[in-house]
Structure 1
Amino acid sequence: MSNDTLQIRRIAIDTYHENVAYLHRECGIYRAEGFQALSKILVSTNGSKVLAVLNVVDDSSIVQPGELGLSEQAFAQLNVAEGCLVTVNHAEAPKSMDAVRRKINGERLDQDDFISITTDIVETRYSKMEMAAFLVATGQNNLDRDELFFLTRAMLQSGDTMNWHESLVADKHCIGGIPGNRTSMLVVPIVAAHGMLIPKTSSRAITSPAGTADTMEVLAEVNLTPDRLHDIVRKERGCLAWGGTARLAPVDDMLISVERPLGIDSQGQMVASILSKKLAAGSTHLLIDIPVGPTAKVRHMNQALALRKLFEFVGDRLNIHLEVMITDGRQPIGRGIGPILEARDIMQVLQNDPDAPFDLRQKSLQLAGRIIEFDPDVRGGQGYAIARDILESGRAGAKMNALIQAQGAKTIDLHPGSRCHEVVACCDGVVTSIDNFQMARIARLAGAPMMKKAGVDLLKKLGNPVKKGEILYRIYAEFPADFKFAQDLAAQNNGYTIGSEEQIIKSLIAF
């Protein structure tokens, strides 16, 4: 081994959408080149290159002075055998950071700026700190509508796109903020059973206790290769899969990896994320669900109308037929919050169980009906009745079972976590409000979505009468620390307000 090369060592650390390299502090190259911790380096060998953030190690059992350690993602990207010789050099700073700095200073960016930024992010030239700077610079409504269009198009162009060779490819998306709102897992089998193509690729949860992919993963495999995804959709007319494996707008997944731990979910990034993913998935017709409520993401009707205009503006310029439904976001949908509990609610609805959550059923039928009306052979106003017939006849349940089998059925266990804490009413009255944000926080502290059996099971909803000491909801967890964190948060604020009927928050939505 020459003095300017190092042996690759695979370090079994998942650094989640970030390439990380490890050098021993006594490494000759480290000392000679003046590398610093968290600087970016270029690793090269036999035509393969990878950019990585450098971590400095003092423990020879992790990496020795003559070795370069690579995290799982960096090792896979370099795609060479362990022990292979590599050279290490300083990496140039991404040129597009100039545009990020200009945005931080309040300047307007053009299409070329956004293409440069997204290209550098996809090519792993950005560290997570630099991605965070970009997210903060473009957050809090700091993008005008043209910039938002530029960003969406740049994100769309960052990866592959699917072409289903059909004139109508349907999809739906909720902007989030409402716990338990797993309508996609009911809409997809209903619409697919009608015969329309609806390939639903979803992200995992960012700031919520579960995303569609997290909940579907309770029932079936969601990490599908593009070829397998195509085969399933062609056969079943739909799917419920995670979008990350298909390399659809991959810059979005990389930005989400930073948004999630920071709890960032800005309006502009949300619009760009949703539309770039849907267009990359080949959608031609899209229904957007915007829930409105005092503790939803969108809290006032004027905000919802402004957001609808933003979606319509970008969607029109990107040539996708887009409709928006503004829905009731005053409280969680269904009873369960967290993957296992939400999967239970969904299966109850699909099985036409009389105990199935009525609000989840009704909202899903409304959304499915609206999508069915994209079908040129369906008259306006007929969609709901068609969707209801598909559900009540059992065709939706049969289609969901077919999707589960096609994607790879799992051994289904819908029992929640072994640790259970009951939160009770402090007085007599009726439930006048439920704090969506607080309920989501409690479920996340209990371990959701990473721990599939963790979450919150609601026994009382808006308008329900309660007696002092009666159970409002149960918290489920798998691990003692998660259980205690969730209990402590619920003790500080249980998320429920109990009062008289006239104090119930009225819906702004005729739904």
Structure 2
Amino acid sequence: MESTSQPILTLKRVAIDTYHENVAYLHRECPTYKVEGFQALSKIEIQQDGKHILAVLNVVDDERIVMPGQLGLSEQAFSNLGVSEGSNVKVNHAEPPQSMEFVREKLSGERITQEKFNQIIKDIASNRYSKPEIAAFIVAVSEAGLDRDEVLYLTNAMVSSGQRLDWEEKRVVDKHCIGGIPGNRTSMIVVPIVAAFGLLCPKTSSRAITSPAGTADTMEVLAQVDLPVNRLHQIVREQRGCLAWGGTAKLAPADDVLISVERPLAIDSQAQMVASIMSKKRACGSTHLLIDIPAGPTAKVRTMKEAMQLRKLFEYVGDRIGLETQVIITDGRQPIGRGIGPVLEAQDVMKVLRNDPDAPHDLREKSLQLAGRLIEFENDIRGGEGYDVARDILDSGRALFKMEQLIAAQGKQETVYTLGTQTQDVTAVKDGVVVEINNLTMARIARLAGAPMDKGAGVYLFKRIGDHVKQGEPLYRIYSEFSADFQFACNLANKDNGFRIGQSEELQFTW
């Protein structure tokens, strides 16, 4: 509903990070606030010379934030509006999104069409939904459920919500792990191998939200990852790959908004996950995709039956959006590598690339398996030959050289990140064999220690499943820089160290 008075306010940039949400600030004594009847947390529309955004209104009483007669915008909102501070802007009540009716239909169990999904995602990407309205959509998807065609519709809608990259090449390969396994930094080994082979592999990765590290957090220990889109394109063209943060490219932007609400709610439905992954990969210009589904008692996917169902869903969607998709199911019983946390994981990666005898064998082998499968997307490489090609590239030092080229191209990290100075070894409570390592517990301990914000924080594993231990022998070491974080991590480890010590006969594992 548009106001006839068209109130004009002076724009002020408010240095607050509101993470994927446009937020506006009005002083309670502002005449516009009183005359227009605005309410806190309502949606308003802000306009200036043909540019406009929607924002959630916060009402303030402190003139140091905004004065009466000013409109403050959070960092994201200011960037999205794209006008200079001090400009005159108009504010109006925002119309509620009509597509909320479709969300209500889904909540009541009805099936949603492609057109309705398109409108919902368009409105979400345009910031027309409030956080509670986005939460309602996420709950509708999770609890009411989507059939496989609805997952396809949601994927298509999310791809259409942003930019799409076109590399103008026949094969553009990528890999993605669905997550849930600490230390699983295979991408930082796979990309240099595949790029050294010659396939185009533009790997844009996420930062951690609830885990101890994402690929972008770990790569940032070595190189710059926050790169302008034009620079990213240049690096990929020159080096045949990259390992960068995907947040600057505005690919499938509705997905980023959904994740910002989904993660705090701890809702992770398969339908939303598949649509999220496939839309991002399609928007990134990938033509061939390898999906890694780790399965295990404390992984995201607990059983082989669940893993097979998810595999079929990925393949169904991939086939219909023109993305050749292969899915492999891997061992998700325990963390991959020794380190959990950015610095520790970066050390593991570089040991593998340098062919260090002390490199974690499981990280090396899993990376070679994944790289081999990507290489087999090339017509000249027959099935089963990719592993040998990948191993030769790694053993010869070509993968290390390519990683050094990527680091130089992206910009070598100027900050030297070191391990946390406060350490604590967590020891075995009895003699026996390690029969179980809880992924969730290990991730939580590393995060409490300060990872990923403190890049030197985390956990270094001394023992793995199948190893014999004696009472008092170290299982892992906690690293932290700050006393409060260190105490939180140690307290949790004292309550539950994440390891179960048993007998050899307990090692048999079935999904």
Query: Which amino acid is 1:495 matched to?
Result: G
Deviation at 1:259, TM superposition (A): 2.4
Q: 1:476 to 1:142 in 2, by over 3 A?
A: same
Query: Which amino acid is 2:225 matched to?
Result: V
Equivalent position SS for 1:432: strand
Are 2:439 and 1:436 equivalent residues in the alignment?
yes
- Distance (Å, rounded) in 2 between the aligned partners of 1:266 and 1:209: 21
Q: Percent identity at matched positions? A: 66
- Distance (Å, rounded) in 2 between the aligned partners of 1:187 and 1:175: 16
Structure 1 partner of 2:236: 233
- Distance (Å, rounded) in 2 between the aligned partners of 1:294 and 1:36: 48
Which residue among 167, 185, 189 is the counterpart of 2:170?
167
- Distance (Å, rounded) in 2 between the aligned partners of 1:206 and 1:254: 13
- Give yes or no for contact 1:206–1:256 (8 Å, CA) kept in 2: no
Which residue among 440, 445, 449 is the counterpart of 1:446?
449
Structure 2 partner of 1:312: 315
Q: 1:364 to 1:499 in 2, by over 3 A?
A: same
- Distance (Å, rounded) in 1 between the aligned partners of 2:136 and 2:159: 21
Per the normalisation by structure 1, the TM-score is 0.96
Structure 1 partner of 2:366: 363
Deviations 1:460-483 (A, max 9, x none): 111111111111111222222222
- Give yes or no for contact 1:288–1:323 (8 Å, CA) kept in 2: yes
Deviations 1:253-298 (A, max 9, x none): 1212222333332211111111111111111111110111111111
Q: 1:141 to 1:489 in 2, by over 3 A?
A: farther
Deviations 1:111-142 (A, max 9, x none): 11111111111111112222122112112571
- Distance (Å, rounded) in 1 between the aligned partners of 2:44 and 2:332: 47
- Distance (Å, rounded) in 2 between the aligned partners of 1:16 and 1:448: 19
Are 2:103 and 1:92 equivalent residues in the alignment?
no
Which residue among 407, 410, 413 is the counterpart of 1:407?
410
Equivalent position SS for 2:291: strand
- Distance (Å, rounded) in 2 between the aligned partners of 1:363 and 1:15: 38
Higher mean Cα deviation, 368-377 or 40-49?
40-49
Question: What CA RMSD, in Å, does the superposition of the two structures yield over aligned residues?
Answer: 1.5
Are 2:284 and 1:284 equivalent residues in the alignment?
no
Deviations 1:481-502 (A, max 9, x none): 2222222222221110001111
- Distance (Å, rounded) in 1 between the aligned partners of 2:193 and 2:415: 21
Query: Which amino acid is 1:402 matched to?
Result: Q
Q: 1:453 to 1:129 in 2, by over 3 A?
A: farther
Higher mean Cα deviation, 356-365 or 211-220?
211-220
Structure 1: unaligned runs, 5 residues or longer = none
User: How many aligned residue pairs are there?
Assistant: 507
Are 2:471 and 1:492 equivalent residues in the alignment?
no
Query: Which amino acid is 2:33 matched to?
Result: Y
Q: 1:218 to 1:505 in 2, by over 3 A?
A: farther
Structure 2 partner of 1:506: 509
Query: Which amino acid is 2:495 matched to?
Result: Q
Q: 1:422 to 1:171 in 2, by over 3 A?
A: same
Q: 1:140 to 1:448 in 2, by over 3 A?
A: farther
Equivalent position SS for 1:421: strand
Query: Which amino acid is 1:486 matched to?
Result: A
Deviations 1:57-82 (A, max 9, x none): 01111111221111111112222222
Are 2:499 and 1:460 equivalent residues in the alignment?
no
- Give yes or no for contact 2:109–2:144 (8 Å, CA) kept in 1: no
Structure 2 partner of 1:10: 13
- Distance (Å, rounded) in 2 between the aligned partners of 1:392 and 1:111: 48
Query: Which amino acid is 2:477 matched to?
Result: R
- Distance (Å, rounded) in 1 between the aligned partners of 2:311 and 2:475: 35
Deviations 1:31-83 (A, max 9, x none): 12221110011112222212110111011111112211111111122222222
- Give yes or no for contact 2:26–2:59 (8 Å, CA) kept in 1: yes
- Distance (Å, rounded) in 2 between the aligned partners of 1:210 and 1:173: 15
Are 2:295 and 1:295 equivalent residues in the alignment?
no
- Distance (Å, rounded) in 1 between the aligned partners of 2:51 and 2:450: 39
Higher mean Cα deviation, 79-88 or 167-176?
79-88
- Distance (Å, rounded) in 2 between the aligned partners of 1:456 and 1:505: 26
- Distance (Å, rounded) in 1 between the aligned partners of 2:414 and 2:51: 41
Query: Which amino acid is 1:67 matched to?
Result: Q
Alignment of 1:203-214 (within 5 A): 203-214=206-217
Deviations 1:131-162 (A, max 9, x none): 12211211257111000000001001111111
- Give yes or no for contact 2:6–2:91 (8 Å, CA) kept in 1: no
Are 2:146 and 1:143 equivalent residues in the alignment?
yes
- Distance (Å, rounded) in 2 between the aligned partners of 1:137 and 1:368: 37
Equivalent position SS for 1:126: coil
- Give yes or no for contact 2:434–2:501 (8 Å, CA) kept in 1: yes
Equivalent position SS for 1:37: coil
- Distance (Å, rounded) in 2 between the aligned partners of 1:455 and 1:260: 21
- Distance (Å, rounded) in 2 between the aligned partners of 1:340 and 1:505: 33
Deviation at 1:408, TM superposition (A): 0.9
Structure 2: unaligned runs, 5 residues or longer = none
Higher mean Cα deviation, 206-215 or 453-462?
206-215
Structure 2 partner of 1:332: 335
Are 2:432 and 1:424 equivalent residues in the alignment?
no
- Distance (Å, rounded) in 2 between the aligned partners of 1:362 and 1:335: 14
Which residue among 393, 396, 399 is the counterpart of 1:393?
396
Structure 2 partner of 1:472: 475
Alignment of 1:26-175 (within 5 A): 26-140=29-143, 142-175=145-178
- Give yes or no for contact 2:6–2:90 (8 Å, CA) kept in 1: no
Structure 1 partner of 2:345: 342
Q: 1:86 to 1:440 in 2, by over 3 A?
A: same
- Distance (Å, rounded) in 2 between the aligned partners of 1:279 and 1:3: 42
Higher mean Cα deviation, 472-481 or 145-154?
472-481
- Give yes or no for contact 1:141–1:266 (8 Å, CA) kept in 2: no
Query: Which amino acid is 1:454 matched to?
Result: A
Query: Which amino acid is 1:466 matched to?
Result: V
Equivalent position SS for 2:318: helix
Structure 1 partner of 2:276: 273
Higher mean Cα deviation, 74-83 or 109-118?
74-83
- Give yes or no for contact 1:141–1:268 (8 Å, CA) kept in 2: no
- Distance (Å, rounded) in 1 between the aligned partners of 2:194 and 2:339: 24
Per the normalisation by structure 2, the TM-score is 0.96
Deviation at 1:400, TM superposition (A): 0.4
- Give yes or no for contact 1:431–1:496 (8 Å, CA) kept in 2: yes
Which residue among 188, 196, 206 is the counterpart of 1:193?
196
Equivalent position SS for 1:430: strand
Equivalent position SS for 2:220: helix
Deviation at 1:507, TM superposition (A): 5.8
Structure 2 partner of 1:183: 186
Query: Which amino acid is 1:64 matched to?
Result: M
